[in-house]
Structure 1
Amino acid sequence: MPSIITDEDFQKFREFFYRKTGIQFENTKRYFVDKRLLERMEATDNKLFRNYFTMLRFQASGEELQTLTNLMTVNETYFFREEYQFKCLVDSILPELVSRRRNDKPLRIWVIPSSSGEEPYSIAIYLLERWADINRYDVEIIASDIDTRILESARAGLYGDRAVSHLPEAYRQKYFKRSAAGYQLIDDVRHAVEFSRVNLSDRADTRAFRHFDVVFCRNLLIYFDDVSRKAAAETFFDALNPGGFICLGHSESMSRISSLYRVRKFPEAIVYQKPTE
């Protein structure tokens, strides 16, 4: 059996994981972190933490770091969560975007983290059902996550009862096929979302993500410290077109993170906008 994780071990790992992912584990998460570290030490036949930690830092492929990251990130959501922001997207944000559009480029939406896909798929369904102009414009939905395992689950589009419990019954019947395995999302909606692995704290990962009109980053920045939140705000600023919008979780405020954005108070929600100039 692997040895215990000492306080010094925990501090070393916490600092390393923070540098790699931007996620800061508080002392209250100690049991959660230790349990997963011990699981991976045993799986990789490392009885001492220092041996496992050396492998984690210097493994050329980065495979073990990715495996551990998958275990350390919590992914729990459901369809139509915080629906008021989808209503804001359809009733306020998109009409403003298309009113000043001067070309036929697609409208681009970035969802990060994608988790198991409920949020980006919710956006696709909401647009199909609630946006009258959906057939007039090409819309691209790109969803990203640091967890490769959860991305595979998202692409599969298979969900349990809890995930679809907030959907109207008519939508469940229209967009899912019920089976013994759960609710299988139809192919037309699954293929409307492109999934990709991205580490928000790695500029090399995020550099390719540009020219978005809307970003949904909900309930992620609460896991970051002030420095990482500010860096994330700058990453999103670079990713957005001038005049583009970012939607955060209900307990998050861009005003407390960065002065780069304008606060926009729409009837449905408060969102944040990259200035047009």
Structure 2
Amino acid sequence: MKAAAAVDKPAITEADFEKFREFFYRKTGIQFDTTKRYFVDKRLIERMEVTHADTFREYFVKLRFETDGAEMQALVNAMTVNETYFFREAYQFDCLVNSMLDDIAKKRPPGSRIRIWSIPSSTGEEPYSIAIYLLERWARIDDYEVEILSSDIDTSVLQAAQRGVYSPRSVANLPKAYLGKYFKQRADGDWTLSRDIVDAVEFSRVNLSDPNDTRRFRDIDVVFCRNLLIYFDDISRRIAAEAMFDALRPGGFLCLGHSESMSRISSIFDVRRFPDAMVYEKPMETKR
């Protein structure tokens, strides 16, 4: 009896890779260089198998001409990397409660709304860290109506964020007092976040490179956009910077990741140095 012949996986050629990465860049602003070739090929082949496409060309035609966008979203979910944890780069959260919010509150009467936007949300650790920081560390939290918005291009991580269940690694940096106050440990060792915190954040799918997605965000006081722009090229970074600039109120603040610098992207923001961190501020009068 002969063994069944192995089924060859579909191949991705150099021309296929170039065609795909140009298409994906136009759709998302995310650019894959040649060092990501193995990662991209692997994810493409997985999606081809799921959709029963025998060749890249067949899959690419389906992708480009689908009417509902479902496969494009599934592909985006597969291609985006989401790795974070609670209280990551916490010095900026310190700056938020020690300086930025007080600076904003000085210009706003009690009872006013303060809006904070976290993008990308990933699986929710950042916006939930912000919520916990506000409750524990900002003395004026009861004086203002604080709204926390959080967005991502990946719908699968948005669903995970709204479930609010986290691994021990995700919560490892949390003080034990906060862990006991806001989480309950499950039988499998993971931790479930309080629904009060989950319900305090409004999640939405947003492509930062798409004006149709970003134009609805206005009158934002603080934007956290950390470790996202490193995946963009210069043009996409500029588009993203202008989208966040337009979303912010005059005098609003932008926080980038520690390896990111607005000085290499755009001059439309001012630099603001606080004791805990350096952030970017939208001038009261536009430079554009």
TM-score of the superposed pair, with normalisation by structure 2: 0.95
SS of residue in 2 equivalent to 1:36: helix
Distance in 2 between residues matched to 1:130 and 1:40, nearest whole Å: 45
Which deviations, in whole Å up to 9, do the C-alpha atoms of 1:210-252 show, x marking residues without a partner? 1100000000000000000000000001100010000000000
Greater C-alpha radius of gyration: 2
Residues 172 and 103 of structure 1: CA distance in aligned 2, closer, same or farther (over 3 Å): closer
Map of 1:75-224 to 2, 5 A cutoff? 75-102=82-109, 104-181=111-188, 182-224=190-232
Which deviations, in whole Å up to 9, do the C-alpha atoms of 1:107-162 show, x marking residues without a partner? 00000000000000000000100001111111000000000010000001000100
Amino acid at match of 1:99: K
SS of residue in 1 equivalent to 2:280: strand
Distance in 1 between residues matched to 2:9 and 2:17, nearest whole Å: 15
Which deviations, in whole Å up to 9, do the C-alpha atoms of 1:50-99 show, x marking residues without a partner? 01001111101010000010000010100000000000001110111010
Would you say the 8 A contact 1:111–1:143 is kept in 2? Answer: yes
Amino acid at match of 2:278: I
Distance in 2 between residues matched to 1:51 and 1:211, nearest whole Å: 44
Unaligned runs of 5+ in 1: none
Question: 1:73 — aligned with what?
Answer: 80
Are residues 1:31 and 2:22 paired?
A: no
Question: 1:238 — aligned with what?
Answer: 246
Identify the match of residue 237 of structure 2 among 229, 234, 237: 229
Map of 1:53-64 to 2, 5 A cutoff? 53-64=60-71
Which deviations, in whole Å up to 9, do the C-alpha atoms of 1:162-198 show, x marking residues without a partner? 0000000010000001112410000111111010000
Identify the match of residue 6 of structure 1 among 3, 8, 13: 13
Amino acid at match of 2:97: V
Would you say the 8 A contact 1:2–1:46 is kept in 2? Answer: no
Amino acid at match of 1:231: I
Shift of 1:104: 3.9
Distance in 1 between residues matched to 2:276 and 2:264, nearest whole Å: 21
Shift of 1:105: 3.1
Amino acid at match of 2:88: R
The CA RMSD over aligned residues, in Å, is 0.9
SS of residue in 1 equivalent to 2:96: helix
SS of residue in 1 equivalent to 2:147: strand
Shift of 1:103: 7.2
Question: 1:19 — aligned with what?
Answer: 26
Would you say the 8 A contact 2:88–2:126 is kept in 1? Answer: yes
Amino acid at match of 2:202: E
Distance in 1 between residues matched to 2:53 and 2:101, nearest whole Å: 52
Distance in 2 between residues matched to 1:30 and 1:15, nearest whole Å: 13
Shift of 1:2: 4.3
Distance in 1 between residues matched to 2:48 and 2:196, nearest whole Å: 42
Shift of 1:3: 2.1
Is 94-103 or 207-216 further displaced after alignment?
94-103
Would you say the 8 A contact 2:110–2:144 is kept in 1? Answer: no
TM-score of the superposed pair, with normalisation by structure 1: 0.98
Distance in 1 between residues matched to 2:93 and 2:247, nearest whole Å: 20
